[in-house]
Amino acid sequence: MTTAAPDMEARLQQYVADVEGYLATCLDDFSMPPRLKQSMLYSLLAGGKRLRPVLCMNCALLCGGTAAMVLPFAAAIEMVHTYSLIHDDLPVMDNDDLRRGKPANHKAFDEATAVLAGDALLTDAFVIMCRTPVASDRLLSALSRFALAAGSSGMAGGQEWDMIYTGQPATSLQELQCMHAMKTGALIRASCVCGAMLAGADERALRAIDSYGTALGAAFQITDDILDVVADTASLGKPSGSDVANGKNTYPVLLGLEKSRELVCEQSEAAKAALMDFPAQKADFLLALVDYLNNRAK
């Protein structure tokens, strides 16, 4: 089932503009070496879907909050995501030369500066999150939840599994799903849940939004795996076919393109079903976002 939201594209672009406007100035009151700031902003302002902050803002809206209220937290999520991309591109990780159509950070600057830029974005993000104007108990709960998703039990741990599996015989579907639930899914899921937490959502709403984020994260990753096979470098903004060239275990490698596309549909429907108890007019954007993201590989 395809879900449409009125003016979905225009609404998305407004959220993206709000996030990018905040990111453009969020480091202004930090004291740091100029070259480090240049490196941080080079990657932070390089574009992208801004999916994670958009999810955070809209899950807050769904639960009675406002997008403006959670904007510092949402923008800081993008800082953490950006740090992970800088480090993923390094020669000791994925060794990619391009990111979003531009030279990767370590190519534009140098490897040491890229490492420090990632370190600084990750750490400074939590300073920015603490500027979110909500009750301290809500903020502390969201900070704890997000830190767990970014660390060894989430994104960082998933990246380690990815490195362990790279170049090895094909993993099982369960192993692949677990790896991606940590590496990619954890941050997407936390973006949703933290937005709801900051807005004061009750346990029932948090469970539903957690399920939405889990399914959306899975569908998003499978779609990315498909795009690595079917898209070109210009549209991807990074080298196409790099997953296969680097010996990565992906859904198309394990299951083939047709079955991978079926899984995208299954996870997309699960994400939509998770929000069925929310008023349709409040959930319409989040529902439409599922199709918008996962139609990329069609």
Average pLDDT over residues 168-184: 91
Domain boundaries, the chain: 8-297
Of 206, 210, 202, 184, which Cα lies nearest the Cα of 271?
A: 210
Q: Exposed, middle or buried by CB within 10 Å (0-12, 13-18, 19+), for 237?
A: middle
pLDDT-derived band at 279 (thresholds 50, 70, 90) equals very high
Query: Does position 86 have pLDDT exceeding 70, yes or no?
Result: yes
The residue-averaged pLDDT of 256-270 equals 95
Structure tokens at 143: 């900070």
Tens-place pLDDT, residues 120-171: 999 999 999 999 999 999 999 999 999 999 999 999 999 999 999 988 877 8
- The pLDDT tens digits for 26-81 are 999 999 999 999 999 999 999 999 999 999 999 999 999 999 999 999 999 999 99
Please indicate whether residue 35 or residue 101 has the higher confidence score (pLDDT): 35
Confidence at residue 7, expressed as pLDDT on a 0 to 100 scale: 82
* DSSP string for residues in 149-187: HHSTTTHHHHHHHHHHHTTSSPPPHHHHHHHHIIIIIHH
Q: Which of 189, 190, 256, 193 is nearest to 229 (CA)?
A: 256
pLDDT at residue 168, as a whole number: 84
The set of long-range contacts for 137-145, using a CB threshold of 8 Å and a minimum separation of 24, is: 138/197, 138/198, 138/199, 138/200, 139/73, 139/198, 141/197, 142/73, 142/194, 142/197, 142/198, 145/190, 145/193, 145/194, 145/197
Residue type (1 letter), 205: A
The whole-number pLDDT of residue 1 equals 57
**Better pLDDT: 169 or 275:** 275
Of the candidates 295, 275, 276, 291, the one whose C-alpha atom is nearest the C-alpha of residue 59 is 275
Per DSSP, helices labelled H in the chain are: 8-25, 34-44, 51-62, 67-88, 105-108, 111-129, 136-150, 155-165, 173-180, 186-198, 203-230, 233-236, 242-245, 251-255, 257-274, 280-294
The CATH H-level superfamily of 8-297 is Farnesyl Diphosphate Synthase (1.10.600.10)
Q: Is the pLDDT of residue 106 over 60?
A: yes
pLDDT band at 239 (very low <50, low <70, confident <90, very high): low
Kindly report the pTM of this predicted structure. Answer: 0.93
Give me the mean pLDDT over the 13-29 stretch: 96
Would the pLDDT of 15 be above 90? yes
Task: At 208, list the tokens.
Answer: 């539903």
Neighbours of 99 (CB within 10 A): 25
Does the pLDDT value for residue 241 go beyond 90? no
Nearest CA to 225 out of 246, 205, 206 is that of: 246
| Tens-digit pLDDT profile for residues 182-229 | 999 999 999 999 999 999 999 999 999 999 999 999 999 999 999 988
pLDDT at 274 over 70: yes
